[in-house]
Structure formats: C-alpha cells, structure tokens
Amino acid sequence: SPAPGEKRRRRAPRRLASRPLSLRSLSDFIFAEIHARFATMMPKTFFFCMSLKTGAWIMTGCNLIYGFTSMISGSVTLADEENDEDRLNLIMTVLLGVCNLGIAGVMISALIKGCERRVFLYLILQMANLFIISVFSAINMFEFKSITRSFGLVGILLMSILWWYGFYCMISFYNELEEYNRTTVKSGVIEITATNTTGLEPVMFPDKAIESTLV
C-alpha cells in the first residue's frame, strides 16, 4: 500500500517482446529440424563393416576404375565404328569416363584437404553421374536379345543399388566431416581466447584434417 500523501503509480501493462519471424529464420529452423531427423537415419559405417573415410576412398576408386575403363574402351572402339548411332553411344561412354575422373579428383582433393564443401560438390556431381549412368546403361540393354537383356538389366539393378547405397553413405560422411570441422574450429577459438587471457602466445592449434575422423 502507498504511504500517506503518495500517489499510487499506475503500472504500465507489460508487453511481450515480439520478434518478427522472418522467412530466413523460419527456413533455418525447418532446415535444422529436417537435418536433425535425417541425421538419426544416416549410416555410421560403410556397408556395415568399414569406416566412412575408407568408404570415401573406395567410392573414389570406383570412379577412377569406371572412368579409365570407359575412356579406353570407348576410344578404342570409336576408331573402328562406322555406324552413327553406335558412335554417339561410344562418345557418350567416353564423356562419362572423363566426368568420372573429374569427380574422383574432386573427392581426392576433399580427402586430402579435409574440406566438407568439396565433399558437398562431390555429392552433387556424383548424384547426377549415377543418374545418367543408370539411365544410359538401361537404355542400351534393350538393344540386345531377350536373355542378354535380362541378365544385363539385373546386373544394372544390382550395380545401381550398390552405387546408390555408397552415395547414401557419402552423405553421412559429409555430415561427419562437417561436424568435425565445426567443432574443431570452435575448440580452436576457445583455446586462443584462454591463451590470450594469460598474455601468452598460442603454441598449438588444432589441425583441420580428415585423418582425425573415424577410422
């Protein structure tokens, strides 16, 4: 109760602090929720028995093998082929080989540098590459006889399943590398701050390298 002679002050009603919900913050929230739900479904190993880093090297080796094989076989056969339709298929085979060598180079540089952005670039290129290979191989199988076509389609189906599951594991590898690099940079900032409070120069910084990830 107010003292005698003192006027009672009216309290202004409290207003809740309202932050305008921008489109960017909403999209970031939705992306974070999807990423959190999707992360629980990602594989922790490559084909249930190897580390994701080892799987990245295996996928790179598959790109190299496919690239060299397609380039050599397509180039040798292209020189003796006279049919225009077959020549077009062989040219497509050679181009796919060149693309696979380039994709393998992107992944090799990503593994050496430990850069998650290059792994992300690899994922985009590899997804387009696998789609083209699957469709191109399936279309060419219809030119053979029924028995050969059946075995060929089964082989393409099995190859596509293995390739696409390996690609799925590489998404998990990207998440692992991105998480490692983010936590490494954060720990480096904490270390520098703690060192500067004592007036000393930092002696050692965490290395942003892929070798420290899961092996």
Which is higher by pLDDT, 196 or 79?
79
Average pLDDT over residues 32-41: 68
pLDDT band at 194 (very low <50, low <70, confident <90, very high): very low
Residue 66 CB neighbour total at 10 angstroms: 20
Q: What is the pLDDT of residues 145-190, one digit of tens each?
A: 555 556 666 777 777 788 888 898 998 899 888 888 888 765 554 4
pTM of the model: 0.65
CA 199 to chain centre: 41
Give the DSSP letter of residue 83: -
Q: Where are the domains of the chain?
A: 52-188
What is the structure's pLDDT at 104? Answer: 94
Q: What is the pLDDT of residues 110-152, one digit of tens each?
A: 999 888 899 999 999 999 999 988 887 777 766 655 555 566 6
CA dihedral 205, 35, 157, 58 (to 10 degrees): 10
